[in-house]
Amino acid sequence: MSAFTCLFVCSLLFSLLETSIPLGTLTPSRSIRDGGDTLVSAGRRFELGFFSPGSSKSRYVGIWYLISSETVVWVANRDNPLNDHSGVLTVTDEGVLALLNGTNNIIGSTNTSKTAENPVAQLLDTGNLVVKDGNIDDPDRFLWQSFDYPCDTFLPEMKLGRNLVTGLDRFISSWKSDEDPARGDFSVRLDLRGLPQVVIMKGNTIRARAGSWNGLSVTGRSGLNPNPLLDYKFVMNQNEVCYEFKPVNNSSFSRYVLNPSGVAQRFTWMDGRHSWELLSTYLSDRCQNYAFCGAYGTCDVNNSPPCGCLEGFLPKSPKDRKSLEWSDGCVRRTPLACNGDGFRKYTGLKLPDTSSSWFDETTSLYECKVLCLKNCNCTAYSNLDIRGKGNGCVLWFGNLNDIEVFSQRGQELYIRMASSEFSENTGKQGKSSKIKRAGIIVGAAILVIGILTLGMISYIRNKKFIFKGMTKRRHTKDYANEGLNKDMELPIIDLTALANATDNFSSKNKLGEGGFGPVYKGSLVEGEVIAVKRLSKNSGQGPNEFINEVKLIAKLQHRNLVKLLGCCMEENEKMLIYEYMPNKSLESFIFDQTRSKLLDWRKRMNIIGGIAKGLLYLHEDSRLRIIHRDLKASNVLLDINMNPKISDFGLARSFGGDQIEANTHRIVGTYGYMSPEYAVHGKYSVKSDVFSFGVLVLEIVSGKKNRGFCHPDHDLNLLGHAWRLWIEDRVMELIDEIVGDANTRSEVLRLIQVGLLCVQQRPEDRPCMSSVVLMLSSESLLPIPKQPGFYMDSPERDSSSGKNPTYSANGISISTFEAR
């Protein structure tokens, strides 16, 4: 053979190797072109290349099984297809994986802050496409990996959940159709509100709920035995919360797919049949639809109709009794009384929605029961981990939703019930029941007559101390029967004067309404403008809160506390009279797009400083050490000069001597502002108010509410969003855009840092208010904040709005390569 012939043959063989033999890796000098080039994993399990789904003419870069080329598990440019066969996939010298079109314009690329000296793209046997530096095989040191950006398929060793350090949320999203891999309407994600649970979403609405991890599986799976074919793993630590799985036999192929209709399916490859076998389907029956039977309703697919009520509950609507769908759910037969309540054990259930739950891995089941009994808002409890004798604790607050009855085992749930529900004769119409009912009626009648008699005596006695027809007088009055100190001097304004001042409590004079009742604007005959808080008969608060507010605020005088001018207790009316605040509440400004423009940076700083000084007075400088317990934007009023004044002391408590904290069985206040130790354990102290103050600081800076906060890139509440921006050194993004650039970066950073210090999880880590005031008024070095409490409690995010970020390079619009 001549030298020329040999050279020609070698050249031809080299060319064939370059175009037809699958490439093991991709380097800056080696690209994949849309013309047959592919990248194949070392164990020949997966292949990467260009493809068109079904009859579509669009071209995509995807990964599929080598044994089943039509089974695509990941698409790089799912929302940005090519229109022809000119595509080229390459790796740049900086380690960026880029997709080029026929004119060499980048239409998609990976986004990484890391760089590599010797960048290599490699398709692993797991189906994970990675970009790394040379031969480094440590996943934590990968520059980028496709497993961080799943599409419609959940593969073994892939993670479903969130990286708490970087904020990366890994979730599955459906194709739009079988021929369009663009992001569809459905997603499978980990809901981190309360105990983390797997949910199927349609947009921002839960469509189905697979449930939380119980140590063996998710609670939505009937039967509690481990899966013999798959090994599941749930990870929850300070760095991440996620699920992953892998086959027990590594030679087999298994995958989960979310189809375009929002149905989750599990497949395994059958070698003998050379085809995929469908092993399970989620959303295969009506009971798997989220909350199909409503609150406290149970769904049993073996019954017709499938909906029923838990024992001790009745259908909320009579029409539901024969209906197949109980949209209204069930209600308690006997209302809870808090003190004296017990628990009924239910078995064989899918545990309720955990988005409004609290959990702890070290608390025993008995301790769990005690915790729930101490908190009147706790409605149920159960084991966190069912293995062995069971350990860990989950507490539910509020209504119980999405409960399913399983024919095979299921789990145990302890639901709070009124003590009367545990009588053996409950619901029976026998003779003994009638006698008991008659006795109760007679006893109640005697009790009512006695109360009315005592009330009349009390009323007659108190009438002797009220001067009628006067607009405003000071009296020394014995309020012993009302719980007031005997010799306390209180300003008294009679009912007639208040009726005249408010035009008989006309609706046109109504300023608003809170937990206490309506508030009216009035004007006394001397011309003094007042605000009248009138206790409503249906108030969530009551006489005790009224007395409490009078006793406490009568002793307080500070420029940042609202001033009490008088009170009225006459003819079953209970009213508090305050100085009138013309600008109403802080809430009416910071969360209103129009009025918030009136709060520039200096005004916001002044408001935060004023609230801090008011709290400092309550905690350390007043005659009593007072814990407010309900500090929030609506309870901060603004005077004519926009100076803040803390109001509404109905839920406040005073400490004496060296007391630093207290416990309560009755949790009151507003979620979103409550500290973790108070909301869960009923423990309150000055540090509870500090937590509420921290929430207020972040709300004032951002102009956003903590509860109900929504962000297109994640599911965190405002505290979590602020924390994420802090650890990523992007805190300037938190500031309300209305404020603009009228502030200095140092002031913003300092204020946000103070806010984060105040909302730390552990009360002992939070500063006291004297330290807070000093932090706000000086330039001293501040401590580094730790993770905030309740930072994962937030609403769902609409997955359809989670668009890939874009950036510009050389005038070319580039969509990042983070396919989902």
DSSP state of 413: E
Measured from the Cβ of residue 781, the count of other Cβ atoms closer than 10 Å reads: 6
3-state SS class at 613: helix
The confidence score (pLDDT) of residue 663 equals 72
What the block records as the tokens of 314 is 């009745």
The per-residue pLDDT for range 481-510, each reduced to its tens digit, is 344 434 345 578 888 889 999 999 998 899
Instruction: List CB contacts of 695: < 8 A, sequence separation 6 or more.
Output: 632, 672, 673, 706, 718, 719, 755, 758, 759
Per-domain boundaries in the chain: 1-149, 151-284, 287-422, 473-579, 587-799
CATH class of 1-149: mainly beta
* Tokens read off for 122: 């490699």
**Does 630 participate in catalysis according to the annotation?**
yes
Q: How confident is the model at residue 540, as a pLDDT?
A: 53
- Name which of 110-119, 393-402, 540-549, 783-792 the model is least confident about: 540-549
State residue 409 phi and psi, 5-degree precision. Answer: 60, -100
What's the distance, Cα to Cα, between the start and end of the chain in Å? 55
Peptide bond into 247 cis (omega under 30): no
Per-residue confidence at 443, pLDDT binned at 50, 70, 90? Answer: low
Question: Helix/strand/coil (H, E, C) string of 212-269?
Answer: EECCCCECCCCCCCCCCCEEEEEEECCCEEEEEEEECCCCCCEEEEECCCCCEEEEEE
| pLDDT of 572 | 79
Phi, psi of 47, deg, nearest 5: -135, 145
Mean pLDDT of 427-449: 55
pLDDT band at 791 (very low <50, low <70, confident <90, very high): low
pLDDT interval class at 444 (50, 70, 90): low
Q: What is the pLDDT of residue 682?
A: 85
pLDDT of 807 higher than 50? no
- Could you tell me the pLDDT band of residue 812, with boundaries at 50, 70 and 90? very low
> The tokens of 218 are what?
């998710």
In this prediction, residue 708 carries a pLDDT of: 74
pLDDT at position 468:
35
Q: How confident is the model at residue 7 (pLDDT cuts 50, 70, 90)?
A: very low
For residue 706, give Cα distances in angstroms to 469, 710, 711, 792.
Answer: 47, 9, 12, 11
Q: Which range is least confidently modeled, 221-230, 429-438, 613-622?
A: 429-438
Whether the pLDDT of residue 168 is over 80: the answer is yes
**Tell me, what's the pLDDT at 545?**
67
Do 123 and 46 contact (CB within 8 A), yes or no? Answer: yes
Q: What are phi and psi of 604, to 5 degrees?
A: -65, -40
**Residue 18 pLDDT exceeds 60:** no
Identify which of 87-101, 395-409, 506-520 has the greatest average pLDDT.
Answer: 87-101
Q: What is the pLDDT of residue 228?
A: 67
pLDDT at 404: 93
- Report H helices in 625-783: 676-681, 686-702, 718-727, 745-758, 769-777
Instruction: Give the C-alpha separation, 588 to 136, whole Å.
Output: 56
Q: Is the pLDDT of residue 14 over 70?
A: no
The token duo for 212 is 């939380």
Residue owning tokens 């789904």: 53
- Which phi and psi angles does 187 have, rounded to 5°? -150, 155
Q: Choose the weakest-confidence range: 328-337, 449-458, 487-496.
A: 449-458
- Which comes out higher in pLDDT, residue 283 or 47? 47
Given a cut of 70, is residue 132 above it in pLDDT? yes
What local confidence, expressed as pLDDT, does residue 454 receive?
Answer: 61
pLDDT (tens digit, 9 = 90+) per residue, 263-321? 999 999 987 778 999 888 887 788 999 999 999 999 998 888 889 999 999 998 866 55
- Rounded Cα–Cα distance for residues 311 and 316 (Å): 14
Structure-token pair, residue 568: 């009225």
Query: If you search the block for the tokens 């992953």, which residue do you land on?
Result: 244
The pLDDT value recorded for residue 440 is 61
Detail the DSSP E strand segments found in 504-647: 510-513, 518-523, 529-534, 564-570, 573-579, 625-627, 636-638, 644-646
Confidence check: pLDDT of 251 > 90: no
pLDDT tens profile 631-652: 999 999 999 889 999 998 878 8
Catalytic choice (34, 148, 341, 630): 630
Q: How far apart are CA 683 and CA 663, in angstroms?
A: 5
Pairing relation of β-strands 297-299 and 403-405?
parallel
Torsion angle, CA of 606/607/612/617, rounded to 10 degrees? 100
Closest CA to 259 of 336, 181, 335, 323: 181
Q: Which residues of 449-476 are buried (b: 16+ CB within 10 A; e: fewer)?
A: eeeeeeeeeeeeebeeebeeeebbeeee
Between CA 791 and CA 724 the distance in angstroms is 10
Paired strand residues for 32: 89
Confidence bin at 188 (pLDDT 50/70/90): very high
Q: 438 pLDDT exceeds 60?
A: no
Mean pLDDT over each residue of the chain, to the nearest integer? 81
Quote the pLDDT of residue 286. Answer: 86
pLDDT at 671 (0 to 100): 81
Helix, strand or coil, per DSSP, at residue 280 = strand
Q: The whole model's pTM is what?
A: 0.58
Identity (one letter) of the amino acid at 298?
Answer: T
Residue type at 313 in one-letter notation: F
- Kindly provide the b/e burial profile for residues 799-816, where b requires at least 16 CB atoms within 10 angstroms of the residue's own CB: bbebebeeeeeeeeebbb
- At residue 200, the pLDDT reads 96
Q: Which of 292-306, 333-347, 534-548 has the lowest mean pLDDT?
A: 534-548
Residue type, 103: T
Lowest mean pLDDT among 486-500, 599-613, 625-639, 672-686: 486-500
Cβ atoms of residues 567 and 576 within 8 Å: yes
User: Under a CB-based contact definition with an 8 Å cutoff, are residues 675 and 763 in contact?
Assistant: yes
* Of 754, 452, 425, 802, nearest in space to 615 by CA: 754
**Among 330-339, 667-676, 719-728, 790-799, where is mean pLDDT lowest?**
790-799
In 3D space, the residue among 218, 193, 198 whose CA is nearest the CA of residue 209 turns out to be 198
Between 198 and 252, residue with greater pLDDT:
198
CA distance 629 to 49: 61
Distance of alpha carbon 364 from alpha carbon 391, whole angstroms: 5
The answer to whether 558 and 668 have CB atoms below 8 angstroms apart is: no
The predicted structure's pLDDT at residue 309 = 92
The 3-class secondary structure across 23-91, one letter per residue, is ECEECCCCCEECCCCCEECCCCCEEEEEECCCCCCCEEEEEEECCEEEEEEEECCCCCCECCCCCEEEE
Confidence at 462, pLDDT banded by 50, 70, 90: very low
Residue 526's contacts (CB-CB under 8 Å, 6 or more residues apart) are: 471, 472
465 pLDDT band, cuts 50/70/90, is: very low
Instruction: Compute the half-sphere exposure of residue 257: CA atoms within 13 Å on the CB side of its CA.
Output: 20
Give the model confidence (pLDDT) of 682-727 as tens digits. 888 999 999 999 999 999 999 999 887 777 777 788 998 999 999 8
Does residue 175 register a pLDDT over 70? yes
Neighbours of 337 (CB within 10 A): 11
Q: What is the mean pLDDT of residues 357-365?
A: 87
User: Tell me, which fold does domain 473-579 have in CATH?
Assistant: Phosphorylase Kinase; domain 1 (3.30.200)
Does the pLDDT at position 19 exceed 90? no
The model's confidence at residue 452, banded by pLDDT at 50, 70 and 90, is low
pLDDT at 533 over 50: yes
Say whether domain 587-799 belongs to CATH 3.30.1490.20: no
Residue with tokens 């595509």: 87
Higher pLDDT, 712 or 783: 783
Q: How many CA atoms lie within 13 A of 318 on its CB side?
A: 0
Alpha helices in 507-572 (DSSP H): 543-553
Looking at residue 284, what is its pLDDT? 72
Instruction: Give the pLDDT score at 181.
Output: 97
- Residue 339 φ then ψ, to 5°: -70, 125
Q: Collapsing DSSP states into helix, strand and coil, what is residue 585?
A: strand
**763 pLDDT above the threshold of 90:** yes
Residues 293 and 300: their CA atoms lie apart, in Å, by 10
Largest CA distance in the chain: 130
d(CA 756, CA 772): 11
Residue 735 pLDDT more than 80?
Answer: yes
For 383-513, where are the E strands, in sequence order? Answer: 393-397, 403-405, 411-417, 473-476, 489-492, 510-513
Bridge partners, 711 (sequence order): 714
- What CATH architecture is 287-422? 3-Layer(bba) Sandwich (3.50)
Return the DSSP state at 315.
E
Enter the tokens of residue 522. Answer: 């009035």
